[in-house]
């Protein structure tokens, strides 16, 4: 039903007179209000489409164009590049940039192309004018190599040397693919030894050092407590032996991995030999069919979410950031749920309803609107500098002067965000409690249940979807929040995950990586913004996807809840 | 009967159902337990949230705590009983140093006055006529002997920890050799010596009234030996009687001060020629004393009328240098003569002592008198801070020494320093500046919150300009005109926008929107102009379409048919944008604006922030305003329509007046969000703390400033606490805004239910 005159078929249709009466009728203003909501709607959709449209093509193998770039007054350059974007630019701006453009043509199309080969060319990206990029072709044998360092390599496969034997021609590609697979497996094993096993040895050694320091602080000398020191020495020896063994394994593996090389020819004819161990992946985008490309796309998406970042976060995956975000949000949920529900129960069920409770309710509600950076300051000042430093003095004197909890870390981030999201949970739970009809509580009490029993058996189960909504909204807020985390614990690159195989397995004092901060850091602090940009869009898209699906879930639950209680009202 | 009734009341304390079944007691125990747990837990959580406010306040309050001094034991001048010419105290406030007129350096314990050691300067038998510091921070002191020659020594303190106890050993060194350096042939006065980049410059006044200058050049050999090369001596007759000479550490300026007539002659030093007189200034009364403040830029002059004035070189608009009288401090001496000046070594605090023994502390930049204390019962002869400024030594004319522990952590803060225009050193006029960090102690911290506050308001203002029309008009249509089916789709979609992490909006604004707007500026303005115009026009054309076509669109779906219109208009604007730029603005609108209008364009500017933050605010304002309009009781609108009002009349005369408090509170909540937003501003502005409202320049907001500077701030410093003050301001500001909005909304709800 519409509020308008029910006779009219359309609320803006019936004035068909002069301009003056059209204006007088108020129709233009109604159209304007309609336009406002249209604009808001379009902005929302455009934002979502924009992040998706910019993020996803990052995984799609784009074709490599081979062409000759003829800039007047400069030597011709051969390029083998991927076209990233195109835009129209006025001649005046180009002239300003020092390009010899002609004044007769007011507009030029400018392309941003990725030429790769940063080690040879200095930078992987360059702007070119479309008009000057001639003799374009898409050679089927053009190869993109993803490297561990220096970004992508664009060129043609010349030959592959496998265990001393040189393979050339079409067989070289097959041989290269096989060698790449073998090397990637070896790399996994090397990484496992370096990170996990040697990491655990180092962790153990550090613990032994701290144990010894602790003995010294407690005034126990090797003379007075020989047993304790002997045990430490024995354990240290054990770890040293383990380390030696791992070291030898590592040397062997590295020799194996560095065995094969590949020789590439760049578009301007240079021959370059590189060890396959320095490569991550190689593909020939121009020779791929749609299905192959799709397969490549999904493989890339998978490695994006499951790999570690490379090259100052501008390449590789974002697994540690996803992991850090999830772990932080989980710990936060564990803290915020019980306390939020307790506070809501108190305010709604136990506190005497009066002006004071009402004031507290408004205050709690308004805390949700306090800038998040203020919570971050509080977290840094109170949790880190005050409580954290206190914990260090009391429990970790042996680590001094290095702080353990007296520095930003996972625990403090979770606590800060728990505080930040408490109002969300309290408000949602309270709303849920308020929706439960009084008659239901009274029925329970009349049957002889105590207040606690009524709450536990009747009210809370009925309010649980509301609590769920609150929690989901809290998680969505926490997952996207960055400003406070910059003060209390995120870093651009964490050396180790806060959860690993070393006792006590979860390391609350460690710093961690976070999706939102990753976006900020890679987008704004990275040395190669252009190269990192697609990655940031992809990360943004992932974050948007997570946050929005959480919100949609919350909204769906809330709507279902409303339906359910509508039935109860009668 | 009576008995049983009392029994039943007794039992009713236990239970109204009066069961005797086993387990009832346990159940009540649990009930009580639950009451306690919920009570304590709930109050604890609320307390924790309250703690935020209390904690912020506790970090801020010390900023405004008045400085204190604590007296130590009064001691008599240690060592030989000859007049004192120079005193100093070391870092820890444990060991003092006193230089006598006889050339003895006496190190003594600052607590007890016991002599630690006495060292004699070479040539000490001649007697000292003048003393000056080369650089207070390194402890280098120059003395002039009666024969006119100069000795330069350095007093340093080695700290060792034998047996875990701190031991301070004073050491005297001679950086320029033990042999005195030739300077004048007579005992001069008003000595000034400075060393800068290999040049040692001495200045002194001769009996004839001439000023003698002498340069030495230092040469460092490959092996690190320093040899001094004696330069020529030059003389000139100054414009005023040379009673006090002050030499700038960088050897650019020389101040000659005439005590009696109260004049300062301001000279520019030239390497090969005689100094050039810039100007002579009258200070207004006779001068008592003058000295440099920390940093070596400002000088302070004690005047006979009880005023201390601060001066430093500045530039006029035409580029010529002059000596600016920057600010004055009333020492409030009740006519007592100022007898001593002492300055801190690393901050702009200075102490003024008078003939009654009173000492007053000032902070120059903040223009603030910190504290007045009667320290001695005799005229104050010397005042000396230790390098950390935790200790102040006052030496009386009769030889009494009184030491004070100074608790003066935050002298930089005053109302005028935080909010007013302040004339900082090396600037040519008073300005609003925020420049917090520098490694060097010579740096004058600039803590004006004005540019940050203006930046905050500017960002919020432009965001609201962008967001409020879209959000409120959109809310009106959605709540009042839109068909319920469409509303069910549109409202959650727009509300989803509120959940979009601000870091993503900031990233898009900084890396996509900012460059896009920069290259498509005419298109942006064209859109802002054409979009609002084209919509009513479309409405007019729509009304003239054949009925058949119009009736295909069900009522309340007008917004849907506008989607292609809006998209088309925007697309059109950005398509012809380049051609317009090429035609009207010579192909580069920024350059055109800069040349024709004098408007400077930054890539990350308020326009970009306004749009990005506006997008963040739209869903909040929209959601609350829409609720307010939608919940206007239906019988009001139906009544109005029934009386023959058009729907627009009903909207403006009935619905909007009723819902206006709700719309108002929506705007307030949106404003609160815009003020506190951090990531968008951090990423989409250049974060320069400028004080202007230009649409095409960036800004730095309070919130972004906290995010940028907090991690590097030293805990407990003035800077750290000022950041907390900024946080507290944000907290209180948003809290008040939100509370007001909430109260308005609750009243509105009550009013609706009353109707």
Cα B563 from Cα B552, distance rounded (Å): 16
Cα B569 from Cα B545, distance rounded (Å): 20
Render pLDDT for A187-207 as a digit per residue (tens, 0 to 9): 999 988 888 888 888 888 888
Question: What pLDDT sits at residue A2?
Answer: 41
**Is residue B81's pLDDT more than 70?**
yes
Are the beta carbons of A339 and B41 separated by less than 8 Å? yes
* Beta-carbon pairs below 8 A across chains A and B: 404
**Is residue B477's pLDDT more than 90?**
yes
How distant is the Cα of B568 from the closest Cα of chain A, in angstroms?
12
Residues of chain A under the 70 pLDDT cut: 1-17, 567-570
How distant is the Cα of B49 from the closest Cα of chain A, in angstroms?
7
Render pLDDT for B322-363 as a digit per residue (tens, 0 to 9): 999 999 998 766 778 888 999 988 888 999 998 888 999 999
Q: How many CB atoms lie within 10 A of CB A99?
A: 19
Question: What pLDDT sits at residue A143?
Answer: 92
**Dihedral sign computed on CA atoms, order B533, B536, B539, B543:** negative
> Per-residue pLDDT averaged across B618-645, rounded?
90
Mean pLDDT of chain B: 87
Alpha helices in A268-386 (DSSP H): 290-306, 319-345, 355-367, 372-378
Question: What pLDDT sits at residue A15?
Answer: 46
Q: Which of B680, B721, B732 is nearest to B701 (CA)?
A: B680
For residue A401, cis peptide bond before it (omega within 30 degrees of 0): yes
> Per-residue pLDDT averaged across B157-167, rounded?
84
Identity of the residue in A42, A547, A555 whose CB atom sits nearest the CB atom of B566:
A42
How distant is the Cα of A235 from the closest Cα of chain B, in angstroms?
33
Identity of the residue in B555, B673, B683 whose CB atom sits nearest the CB atom of A520:
B683
Q: Is A47 on the interface with B (CB under 8 A)?
A: yes
Q: Is A22 on the interface with B (CB under 8 A)?
A: yes
Strands B128-135 and B263-268, by their bridges, are unpaired
Contact of A264 with A274, CB cutoff 8 Å: yes
Contacts of A122 (CB under 8 A, 6+ apart): none
Question: What pLDDT sits at residue A71?
Answer: 87
Cα A541 from Cα A301, distance rounded (Å): 12
Identity of the residue in B637, B673, B683 whose CB atom sits nearest the CB atom of A524:
B683
Q: Which residues pair with residue A147 across a beta bridge?
A: A279
Question: What pLDDT sits at residue B21?
Answer: 61
Question: What pLDDT sits at residue A4?
Answer: 44
Q: Is A426 on the interface with B (CB under 8 A)?
A: yes
Are the beta carbons of A28 and B540 separated by less than 8 Å? yes
Are the beta carbons of B502 and A10 separated by less than 8 Å? no
Are the beta carbons of A47 and B506 separated by less than 8 Å? no
Contact of B127 with B103, CB cutoff 8 Å: yes
Are the beta carbons of B51 and A382 separated by less than 8 Å? yes
What residues in B contact A450, CB-CB < 8 Å? 27-28, 30-31
For residue B396, the SS3 value is strand
Name the burial class of residue A482, with classes exposed (0-12), middle (13-18) and buried (19+) by CB atoms within 10 angstroms of its CB.
Answer: buried
> Per-residue pLDDT averaged across B548-554, rounded?
82
Question: What pLDDT sits at residue A1?
Answer: 38
User: Which residue of chain B is at minimal alpha-carbon distance from A335?
Assistant: B45
What residues in B contact A536, CB-CB < 8 Å? 507, 511
User: Which residue of chain A is at minimal alpha-carbon distance from B586?
Assistant: A92
**Confidence band, pLDDT 50/70/90 cuts, at residue B567:** very high
Question: What pLDDT sits at residue A569?
Answer: 55
Are the beta carbons of B555 and A11 separated by less than 8 Å? yes
What CA–CA distances, in Å, run from B483 to A11, A28, B235, B479, B658?
11, 19, 95, 9, 21
> Per-residue pLDDT averaged across B288-294, rounded?
90
**Confidence band, pLDDT 50/70/90 cuts, at residue B642:** very high
**Is residue B570's pLDDT more than 90?**
yes
How distant is the Cα of B521 from the closest Cα of chain A, in angstroms?
12
How distant is the Cα of A562 from the closest Cα of chain B, in angstroms?
15
Contact of B655 with B480, CB cutoff 8 Å: yes
What CA–CA distances, in Å, run from A38 to A10, A44, A168, B327, B499?
18, 10, 60, 58, 19
Identity of the residue in B27, B48, B553 whose CB atom sits nearest the CB atom of A419:
B48
User: Which residue of chain A is at minimal alpha-carbon distance from B670?
Assistant: A369
Contacts of A433 (CB under 8 A, 6+ apart): A344, A345, A348, A349, A459, A463, A466
> Per-residue pLDDT averaged across B517-543, rounded?
90
For residue A482, the SS3 value is coil
- Domain ranges in chain A are 1-59, 65-155, 165-258, 319-429+461-568
Matching CATH number, A319-429+461-568, of 3.30.1390, 1.20.120, 1.10.8, 1.10.3720: 1.10.3720
How distant is the Cα of B250 from the closest Cα of chain A, in angstroms?
37
Render pLDDT for B46-58 as a digit per residue (tens, 0 to 9): 888 888 999 999 9
Q: Is A530 on the interface with B (CB under 8 A)?
A: no
Are the beta carbons of A41 and B493 separated by less than 8 Å? yes
User: Which residue of chain A is at minimal alpha-carbon distance from B674?
Assistant: A371
Cα B427 from Cα B725, distance rounded (Å): 26
Instruction: Tokens for B242, please give them.
Output: 């040379």
Are the beta carbons of B532 and A32 separated by less than 8 Å? yes
Question: What pLDDT sits at residue B4?
Answer: 41
pLDDT above 90: percentage of residues in chain B: 30
Identity of the residue in A106, A482, A551 whose CB atom sits nearest the CB atom of B679:
A482
How distant is the Cα of B745 from the closest Cα of chain A, in angstroms?
11
Question: What pLDDT sits at residue A341?
Answer: 92
Q: Which of A25, A31, A536 to mutate to test the interface with B (most CBs of B within 10 A)?
A: A31
Are the beta carbons of B508 and A13 separated by less than 8 Å? no
**Is residue B13's pLDDT more than 60?**
no
Identity of the residue in B470, B480, B583 whose CB atom sits nearest the CB atom of A40:
B470
Q: How many CB atoms lie within 10 A of CB A150?
A: 16
**Is residue B473's pLDDT more than 90?**
yes
What residues in B contact A47, CB-CB < 8 Å? 497, 500, 505, 508, 615
Cα B728 from Cα B734, distance rounded (Å): 10
Residue B176 has phi, psi (to 5 degrees) of -115, 20
Q: Which of A7, A11, A34 to mutate to test the interface with B (most CBs of B within 10 A)?
A: A34
Question: What pLDDT sits at residue B3?
Answer: 41
What residues in A contact B540, CB-CB < 8 Å? 19, 22, 27-28
Q: Which residues pair with residue B299 across a beta bridge?
A: B292, B311
What residues in B contact A29, CB-CB < 8 Å? 648
Q: Which residues pair with residue B567 across a beta bridge?
A: none
DSSP string, B559-623: HHHHHHHHHHHHHHHHHHHHHHHHHHSTT-HHHHIIIII-----SS-HHHHHHHHHHHHHHHHHH
**Is residue B590's pLDDT more than 80?**
yes
Question: What pLDDT sits at residue B441?
Answer: 62
Contact of A65 with A137, CB cutoff 8 Å: yes
């Amino acid at each position: 039903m519409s509020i308008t005159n029910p006779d009219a078929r359309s609320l803006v249709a019936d004035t068909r007179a002069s301009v003056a009466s059209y204006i007088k009728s108020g129709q233009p203003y109604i159209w304007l209000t309609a336009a406002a909501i249209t604009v808001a709607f379009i902005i929302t959709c455009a934002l979502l489409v924009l992040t998706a449209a910019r993020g996803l093509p990052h995984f799609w193998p784009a074709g490599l164009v081979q062409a000759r770039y003829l800039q007047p007054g400069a030597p011709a350059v051969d390029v083998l590049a991927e076209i990233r974007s195109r835009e129209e630019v006025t001649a005046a701006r180009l002239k300003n940039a020092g390009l010899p453009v002609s004044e007769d043509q007011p507009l030029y199309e400018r392309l941003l192309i990725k030429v790769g080969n940063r080690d040879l060319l200095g930078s992987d990206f360059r702007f070119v004018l479309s008009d000057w990029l001639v003799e374009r072709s898409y050679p089927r044998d053009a190869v993109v190599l993803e490297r561990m360092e220096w970004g992508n390599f664009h060129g043609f496969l010349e030959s592959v040397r496998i265990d001393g034997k040189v393979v050339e021609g079409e067989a070289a590609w097959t041989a290269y693919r096989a060698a790449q697979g073998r090397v990637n497996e070896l790399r996994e094993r090397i990484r496992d030894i370096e990170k996990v096993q040697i990491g655990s040895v180092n962790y153990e050694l550090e613990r032994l050092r701290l144990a010894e320091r602790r003995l010294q602080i407690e005034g126990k000398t090797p003379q007075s407590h020989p047993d304790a020191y002997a045990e430490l020495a024995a354990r240290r020896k054990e770890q040293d032996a383990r380390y030696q063994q791992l070291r030898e394994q590592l040397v062997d593996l590295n020799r194996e991995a560095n065995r094969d090389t590949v020789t590439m020819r760049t578009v301007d004819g240079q021959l370059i030999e590189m060890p396959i161990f320095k490569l991550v992946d190689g593909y020939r985008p121009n020779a791929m069919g749609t299905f192959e490309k799709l397969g490549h796309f999904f493989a890339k998406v998978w490695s994006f979410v499951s790999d570690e970042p490379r090259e100052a976060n501008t390449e590789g995956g974002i697994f540690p950031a996803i992991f850090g975000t999830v772990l932080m949000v989980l710990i936060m949920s564990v803290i915020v749920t019980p306390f939020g529900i307790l506070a809501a129960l108190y305010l709604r069920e136990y506190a005497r309803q009066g002006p004071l409770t009402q004031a507290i309710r408004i205050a709690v509600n308004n805390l949700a609107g306090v800038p998040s950076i203020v919570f971050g300051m509080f977290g840094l000042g109170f949790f880190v500098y005050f409580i954290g430093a206190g914990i260090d003095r009391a429990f970790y004197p042996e680590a001094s002067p290095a702080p353990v909890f007296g520095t930003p870390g996972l625990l403090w981030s979770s606590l800060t965000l728990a505080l930040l999201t408490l109002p969300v949970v309290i408000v949602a739970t309270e709303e849920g409690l308020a929706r439960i009809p009084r008659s239901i509580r009274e029925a329970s009490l009349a049957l002889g249940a105590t207040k606690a029993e009524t709450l536990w058996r009747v009210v809370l189960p009925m309010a649980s979807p509301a609590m769920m909504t609150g929690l989901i909204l809290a998680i969505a807020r926490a997952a996207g929040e960055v400003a406070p985390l910059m003060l209390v614990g995120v870093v651009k690159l964490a050396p180790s995950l806060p959860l690993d195989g070393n006792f006590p397995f979860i390391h609350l004092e460690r710093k961690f990586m976070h999706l939102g901060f990753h976006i900020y850091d890679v987008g704004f602090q990275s040395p190669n913004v252009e190269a990192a940009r697609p990655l940031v869009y992809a990360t943004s898209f992932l974050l948007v996807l997570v946050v929005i699906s959480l919100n949609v879930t919350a909204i769906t639950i809330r709507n279902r809840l409303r339906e359910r209680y509508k039935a109860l009202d009668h | 009967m009576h008995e049983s009734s009392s029994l039943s009341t007794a039992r009713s304390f236990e239970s109204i159902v009066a069961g005797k079944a086993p387990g009832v007691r346990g159940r009540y125990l649990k009930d009580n337990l639950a009451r306690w747990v919920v009570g304590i837990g709930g109050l604890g959580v609320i307390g924790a949230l309250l703690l935020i406010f209390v904690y912020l306040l506790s970090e801020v309050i010390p900023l405004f705590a008045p400085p204190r001094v604590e007296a130590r034991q009064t001691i008599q001048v240690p060592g030989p009983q000859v007049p004192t010419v120079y005193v100093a105290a070391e870092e820890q406030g444990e060991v003092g140093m006193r230089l006598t007129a006889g050339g003895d350096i006496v190190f003594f314990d600052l607590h007890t006055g016991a002599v630690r050691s006495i060292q004699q300067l070479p040539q000490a038998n001649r007697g000292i006529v003048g003393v000056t510091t080369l650089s207070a921070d390194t402890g280098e002191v120059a003395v002039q002997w009666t024969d006119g020659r100069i000795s330069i020594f350095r007093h340093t303190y080695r700290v060792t920890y034998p047996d875990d106890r701190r031991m301070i050993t004073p050491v005297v060194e001679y950086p320029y050799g033990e042999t005195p350096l030739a300077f004048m042939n007579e005992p001069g006065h008003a000595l000034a010596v400075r060393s800068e980049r290999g040049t040692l410059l001495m200045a002194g006044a001769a009996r004839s009234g001439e000023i003698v200058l002498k340069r030495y050049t230092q040469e460092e050999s490959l092996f690190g030996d320093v040899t001094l090369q004696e330069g020529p001596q030059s003389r000139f007759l100054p414009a005023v009687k040379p009673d006090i000479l002050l030499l700038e550490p960088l050897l650019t300026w020389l101040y000659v001060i005439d005590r009696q007539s109260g004049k300062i002659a301001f000279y520019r030093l030239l390497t090969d020629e005689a100094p050039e007189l810039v100007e002579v200034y009258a200070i207004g009364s006779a001068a008592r004393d003058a000295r440099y403040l920390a940093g070596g830029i400002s000088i302070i002059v004690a005047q006979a009328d009880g005023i201390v004035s601060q001066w430093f070189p500045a530039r006029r608009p035409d580029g010529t240098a002059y000596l600016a009288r920057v600010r004055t401090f009333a020492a409030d001496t009740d006519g007592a003569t100022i007898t001593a000046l002492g300055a801190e070594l690393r901050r702009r605090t200075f102490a003024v002592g008078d003939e009654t023994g009173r000492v007053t502390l000032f902070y120059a930049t903040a223009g603030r008198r910190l504290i007045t204390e009667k320290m001695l019962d005799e005229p104050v002869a010397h005042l000396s801070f230790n390098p950390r400024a935790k200790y102040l030594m006052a030496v009386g004319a009769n030889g009494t020494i009184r030491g004070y522990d100074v608790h003066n952590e935050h002298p930089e803060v005053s109302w005028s320093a935080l909010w007013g225009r302040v004339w900082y050193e090396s600037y040519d006029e008073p300005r609003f500046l925020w420049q917090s960090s520098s490694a060097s102690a010579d740096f004058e911290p600039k803590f004006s919150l004005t540019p940050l506050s203006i930046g905050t308001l500017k960002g919020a203002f432009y965001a609201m300009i962008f967001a409020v029309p879209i959000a409120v008009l959109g809310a009106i249509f959605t709540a009042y005109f839109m068909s319920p089916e469409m509303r069910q789709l549109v409202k959650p979609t727009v509300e989803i926008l509120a959940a979009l992490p601000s870091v993503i909006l900031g990233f898009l604004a900084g890396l996509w929107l900012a460059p896009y707007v920069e290259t498509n500026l005419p298109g942006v303005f064209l859109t802002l102009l054409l979009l609002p115009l084209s919509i009513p026009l479309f409405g007019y054309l729509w009304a003239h379409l054949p009925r058949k076509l119009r009736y295909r669109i069900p009522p309340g779906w007008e917004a849907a048919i506008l989607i292609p219109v809006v998209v088309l208009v925007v697309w059109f604007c950005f398509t012809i944008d380049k051609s317009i730029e090429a035609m009207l603005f010579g192909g580069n609108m920024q350059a055109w604006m800069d040349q024709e209008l004098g408007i400077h364009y930054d890539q990350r500017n308020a326009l970009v922030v306004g749009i990005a933050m506006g997008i963040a605010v739209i869903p909040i304002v929209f959601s609350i305003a829409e609720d307010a309009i939608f919940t206007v009781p239906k019988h009001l609108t139906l009544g109005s329509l029934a009386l023959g009002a058009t729907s627009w009349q009903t909207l403006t005369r009935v619905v909007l007046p009723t819902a206006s408090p709700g719309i108002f509170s929506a705007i307030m909540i949106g404003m609160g969000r815009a003020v506190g937003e951090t990531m968008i501003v951090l990423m989409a502005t250049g974060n320069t703390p400028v004080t202007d409202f230009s649409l095409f320049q960036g800004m730095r907001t309070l919130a972004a400033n906290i995010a940028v500077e907090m991690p590097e701030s030293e805990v407990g410093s003035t800077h750290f606490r000022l950041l907390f003050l900024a946080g507290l301001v944000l907290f209180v500001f948003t809290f008040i805004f939100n509370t007001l909005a909430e109260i308005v909304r609750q009243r509105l709800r009550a009013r609706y239910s009353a109707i």
